[in-house]
Amino acid sequence: MSSAAIPGSPRRAFYPPIHCYNEGTLEVSETHKLYYEQSGNPTGKPVVYLHGGPGGGTSAGDRCYFDPAVYRIVLFDQRGAGKSTPPACLEQNTTWDLVQDIEKLRTHLGIDKWVVFGGSWGSTLALAYAETHPDRVKALVLRGIFTLRRKELVFFYQEGADMIYADHFEKYKNEIPEGERGDLISAYYRRLTHPDKNVQMKAAKVWATWECATSKLFIDQEMLAKAENDDWAVKFARIECHYFVNGGFFNSDTYLLDNVDKIRHIPTTIVQGRYDIVCPMNTAWELHKRFPEADFHIVPDAGHSAKEPGITALLLEATDKYRDL
């Protein structure tokens, strides 16, 4: 099923802010402990929110995509991100570690099946999890589709996005000496893993600023300010770059698309901004062609962010729809 919003996408308010009723930590390895929280209805329908980045962490606002009277809302910070410890740790930190972590958390919380919600890197992880454990997924809500193929990374971090955001890309590129600019991701990785924390911090802020500058159709100064937060920027940039230099730890470049048949029976909604530069819509379009059963929405006046009005409205519509499963 395919549909597209008309120009001037409808607006809809988020569900009101709520407090979590339960917080905890879950030891998932000898190294890592995950922070998790639950909010909404303790006896409601379980939904798990998978944050972006990787490394982005969760926030209180992430609870507001879900009807709190209906959903038992589970948020957690992935390895090294947010309140999980140790912070910004790259050891034992792969896609498949995170897939196992989601299962450990589900079991720990006594949940049989849940709705899985993820955008950007969260969509990557949601697809990886669902393709591995399709029997545990009641529905998928995916936004800003990212399958971590090499061409997706090259477009945003090497050449492609610079055609549109030349001014911001120049600041990102100029952080790296000219002789290393043939592979900017690897050049940043060397700095983000440098033993000198000051070198890490300097590179992290520039890396994070590049993504924050391009995440909305119209540049959001609040998002740019977020990249100046030392703690957030280091976690975000280090973990993200770690996954990218390792190709997402997939055994083939098209792994997620090649395994879509495993999940085509799962009720799914895909929401994609037409002018998404971070995760361009050709990836969402390829997923749509391989997964025609999913509800597919192109938002004509949006970029990458879930907080752009047209995207927000469709995400809320999707979570409302799956209340009845």
Is 112 assigned a catalytic role? no
pLDDT of residue 7: 56
* 88 and 138 assigned to the same domain: yes
Both tokens of 244, joined, read 């990218």
* 244 and 259 assigned to the same domain: no
pLDDT of residue 305: 97
Q: Where are the beta strands (DSSP E) in 30-166?
A: 33-40, 45-50, 71-76, 114-119, 137-143
Domain ends where: 217, 233, 249?
Answer: 249
* 8 and 62 assigned to the same domain: yes
Q: CA 178 to CA 54: how far, in whole Å?
A: 28
Is 135 assigned a catalytic role? no
Query: Which of the following is catalytic: 120, 123, 215, 305?
Result: 120
* 10 and 105 assigned to the same domain: yes
* 128 and 27 assigned to the same domain: yes
Question: In what order do the strands lie in the sheet containing 2-4?
Answer: 2-4, 295-299, 268-273, 137-143, 114-119, 45-50, 71-76, 33-40, 20-27
pLDDT of residue 10: 76
Domain ends where: 221, 249, 277?
Answer: 249
* 130 and 40 assigned to the same domain: yes
The count of structural domains within the chain is: 2
Count of helix runs (H) and strand runs (E) in the chain: 11, 9
pLDDT tens digit sequence for 130-143: 999 999 999 999 99
* 53 and 111 assigned to the same domain: yes
Is 276 assigned a catalytic role? yes
pLDDT tens digit sequence for 218-264: 988 888 898 999 999 999 999 999 999 999 999 999 999 999 999 99
Predicted confidence pLDDT, tens digits, the chain (325 residues): 444 444 567 789 999 999 999 999 999 999 999 999 999 999 999 999 999 999 999 999 999 999 999 999 999 999 999 999 999 999 999 999 999 999 999 999 999 999 999 999 999 999 999 999 999 999 999 999 999 999 999 999 999 999 999 999 999 999 999 999 999 999 999 999 999 999 999 999 999 999 999 999 998 888 889 899 999 999 999 999 999 999 999 999 999 999 999 999 999 999 999 999 999 999 999 999 999 999 999 999 999 999 999 999 999 999 999 998 9
Parent domain of 198: 150-249
* 132 and 24 assigned to the same domain: yes
Query: Which of the following is catalytic: 101, 276, 295, 305?
Result: 276
* 212 and 158 assigned to the same domain: yes
Q: CA 285 to CA 272: how far, in whole Å?
A: 9
* 31 and 99 assigned to the same domain: yes
What pTM value is reported for the model? 0.96
Q: What is the CATH number of the domain that holds 144?
A: 3.40.50.1820
pLDDT of residue 246: 98
Query: Which of the following is catalytic: 32, 51, 133, 304?
Result: 304
36 with 61: CB under 8 angstroms? no
Domain ends where: 249, 269, 293?
Answer: 249
* 28 and 132 assigned to the same domain: yes
* 141 and 53 assigned to the same domain: yes
